[in-house]
Amino acid sequence: MFLDQVYQRGDVRQLVPDEAYSEDAWVIPVARRLDLAFDGRASGSQQRVPLAVGIDVAEWVSGNMLFILHARNAWLTAGGGATTAQVRFEAESVALDPDDPITEYIDTSRTVAQSPVILASTTAPLCALDAIEAPFGPRLRVFASVTQGAAAAAGPQTLSVSIYLTGRRK
């Protein structure tokens, strides 16, 4: 499948066709031009917003996370200064309980892949590729890690992102 096709939630493993050199290559669209908005309260709190949980990478020997920032509005305070908000997209290894798949066992000791930190000064468009650090799996969870910061925003802080996982099987 090609990256310009529309994917349904749950349709996460697609073999890349018509590529003789990449019989074992996989492209998993986690988010495609996903529009996110954060209210920008001055809280200093951190939130984790899950985008995908339980992505099967058990057969992968290597992989990458491709991050694309398509657009971002101005993250300004009521006085016109820059907010102190930060957003980063991260992947962690998880295991699902076979008897209760809603239960996740998360390896929070380390992040296996991450995007650059998006700040008020970050310019769109932006594209970044990060290798998924071994060991990883058997499944991955991708989430947005949002820190609102101490300076409140005058309005919603918005951004449009795409995230793809690419991997090579054994």
pLDDT in tens, 41-78: 767 778 889 999 889 898 899 999 999 999 999 888 88
What is the residue-averaged pLDDT of the chain? 82
Q: Please list, in sequence order, all residues whose beta carbon lies within 8 angstroms of the beta carbon of residue 68, skipping any fewer than 6 positions away.
A: 125, 126, 127, 161, 162, 163
Query: Above 90 in pLDDT, residue 95?
Result: no
DSSP 76: B
Q: In a 3-state reduction of DSSP, which class is residue 75?
A: coil
31-162 placed in CATH 2.60.40 = no
The CA-atom distances, in angstroms, between 165 and each of 83, 114, 131, 143, 162 are 30, 11, 10, 13, 10
Q: Residues 26-38: what's their mean pLDDT?
A: 92
